[in-house]
Structure 1
């Protein structure tokens, strides 16, 4: 894997609470494609990128840490701050800080799969999200990290 990579991150959540037709339309996947920096340190894979937030002058710095196929961490700092840890069959909690306040977030990882190739890392995470101990949504994250020059980049669906 080269230092310069492209990252595609697709996230989707299905509300656990009663769904109205208006909310059902909001359950579509959201995808971000961005350039990033990759490095390998002490056997762990790191992907670092910045996320621009519409309507503000600030950014969110993101760091994804992949520890084999057992644990994935997503750390956000800047306009919002969080440290989400996804471990197979384990629930982790963190505080999610936004400009509007702080929430206690719980992630109960139901499925975690990481596939490594020479110029590509593919990640699949399925988890239950709760906010302040109240079940909120069933969620999926799909990540595709590819060396810029490999020619293997594809947008997730």
Structure 2
């Protein structure tokens, strides 16, 4: 058991280093918080984060996306703007990405071993390509298309 805990702690340290090297605070902070949780009395809350963390993260992300609209920094478009081809394309891409995310959640539940590869790819994309760590859900959804899973 201690070998597994040490390898997980080592993985978290590597993620922290990748986050620092890639100048990505999301990876750095996430891995550091999990390492602190794992190594302290907070470890008892890891199952809670495992169960509800994704939903909490999506809620926080949605709040962050909606805040500029609520604060008035981004104006709601007029009705005519919704008739523009770019708006139609934006809606279609939004629907497609939400569908990918739904498929991704299903695939990660059905084949959790694939999560390691998805996370590694996402972390590399975040650390070195300037991506954001919402990729595992979308990546899993796209992977489900290649694997023929519904």
Please say which structure displays the higher CA radius of gyration.
2
Which structure features the higher share of strand residues?
Answer: 1
Task: State TM-score, norm by structure 2.
Answer: 0.23
Task: State TM-score, norm by structure 1.
Answer: 0.23
